[in-house]
Homo-oligomer: A and B are copies of this chain.
Amino acid sequence: MRISAQAEDFDISAEIELLKENRTDLGAIATFTGLVRDIHGDKQIKKMTLEHFPGMAEQELGKIGFEASARWPLEDLTIIHRYGELLPGDNIVLVITTSHHREAAFEAAQFIMDYLKTNAPFWKKEETTEGDHWVAAKTDDDDKKDRWK
């Protein structure tokens, strides 16, 4: 399991290669990438700043990864979450799950994303054409997490 909270960008192919290194038993690799969108509601996004709680962020991402590994037959997984200043089109988060079976890989990646939205200590601030604001948490995201209970 590779967990990282980092300012730097990530490369998906390179991250997959890390998981595949020295093994030829993986049949299924699912990935999810979350990116900064240029529009949020009716506002144009100029910049996004991601604040995080160093130490606890990695710890919580790790907990989510372990929980996913306990629920699905995963071979390995990667969770990378960026922090700092990002522009529209920039990568925010990457989840990679590998398994012998595609359902496990897909479902675990969805689970990780749903949990990460509400449980990982990251906060988004948007700089828009109409001023700056902290993104409000969506109750919707709690619902999505709750479906895994």
Contacts and interface: CB of A to CB of B under 8 A. Distances in A.
Contact of A37 (B27, B35, B37): B27
**How many of chain A's residues touch chain B, expressed as a range?**
35 or more
Interface in A39-98: 39, 87-89
Interface in A1-50: 11-14, 16, 20, 23-39
Contacts of A113: 102
A120 interface: no
B24 A88 contact: yes
Interface string A101-117: 01101100110010000
A100 interface: yes
B16 A33 contact: yes
A77 to B, nearest CB: 14
User: Can you list the 9 inter-chain pairs with the closest CB atoms, starting with the nearest?
Assistant: A24-B89, A24-B88, A13-B13, A24-B38, A29-B33, A27-B37, A31-B31, A12-B13, A106-B110
